Amino acid sequence: MRNLIVSVTLLASSVAMPVIAAEFPATLVWADRTALSLPISGLVKDVKVRAGQDVPAGGLLLELDARPFDARLHKAQAGVQGLERKRAEAKNEAKRAQELYARTVLSNVELEKAHIDQQQVEGQYQEARAQQQLIEVERSYTQLKAPFAARVLAVNIAPGEAISAAMQAPTLIEVARSNVIDVVAKLKPEEVVGLKLGGKVDVEVNGSKVSGEIIAIESPKEGGYCVVVRVPAADGWLAGLSAKIITP
């Protein structure tokens, strides 16, 4: 009976013991830091943002002088319109040749020539249409827009500067997500046990605590795992600030 009382007492004591959370030093880093560039050559007309500015998704960052692209597009559109008429004429000629051939008025050679002419015009038309679509795509690249709600980290270009796509596309503007920020900590292998992608942990920055989600557990580097937790960004939270990751 005495042993039973001792066992119950020990069990009650173990149940009452609080779970001690583990804390690990961490650092804030920008979430999805991205270097933006353009795949075309051109002259910078205007830069709409400055470093430190927040912009919405799709917000205009900079634009190139679109006049050369507009001129090429108008030329391509005129070429397509001309070939549309020529295409219709070739189609009618082929149809008429087929009717004459059916009445034995036209020879087989003449019928074949009419079909060949139609195919050639059709090929020219499709090539012109493809060229017009390509120029339309290039025209859309004259504006650089934010891929997501972003904070501008650096602006490396100014109005009047020329960019060249012939070489490696230069980084024009660097951005990162403005509504979230990442917290990075290096953990030992035994400290990673139990953590998983999508798991929830707490993060503390300057005495403020928020809940975050584990978005990456990178392979060991220099003896430790790199654990990345994404949290909502609060006012004053900047990359480089010290933080804590608190695991259950």
How does DSSP classify residue 194? Answer: T
* H helix or E strand, kind and range, residue 72: helix 67-102
The answer to the question of residue 186 being in a domain is yes
191 pLDDT above the threshold of 50: yes
Q: Give residue 166's pLDDT.
A: 77
Q: Which domain holds residue 234?
A: 18-32+178-247
Residues 133 and 150 in one domain: no
Residues 132 and 79 in one domain: yes
Residues 41 and 56 in one domain: yes
Residues 159 and 113 in one domain: no
Q: In residues, how long is the chain?
A: 248
The answer to the question of residue 6 being in a domain is no
CATH code of the domain covering residue 198:
2.40.30.170
43 pLDDT above the threshold of 80: yes
Per the structure, the count of domains in the chain is 3
102 pLDDT above the threshold of 60: yes
pLDDT band at 20 (very low <50, low <70, confident <90, very high): low
The answer to the question of residue 52 being in a domain is yes
Q: pTM for the full model?
A: 0.77
Residues 237 and 189 in one domain: yes
Residues 112 and 208 in one domain: no
The distance from CA 38 to its chain's CA centroid, rounded to whole angstroms, is 13
If you average pLDDT over residues 40-60, what whole number do you get? 96
Residues 100 and 199 in one domain: no
**R_g (Cα) of the chain, nearest Å:** 33
If you average pLDDT over residues 228-233, what whole number do you get? 96
Residues 74 and 105 in one domain: yes
Distance, in Å, from the CA atom of 131 to the CA atom of 139, rounded to the nearest integer, reads 12
Distance, in Å, from the CA atom of 39 to the CA atom of 142, rounded to the nearest integer, reads 9
How does DSSP classify residue 171? Answer: P
Domain final position from 116, 140, 164: 140
Residue of 63, 78, 27, 57 lying closest to 237 (CA atoms)? 27
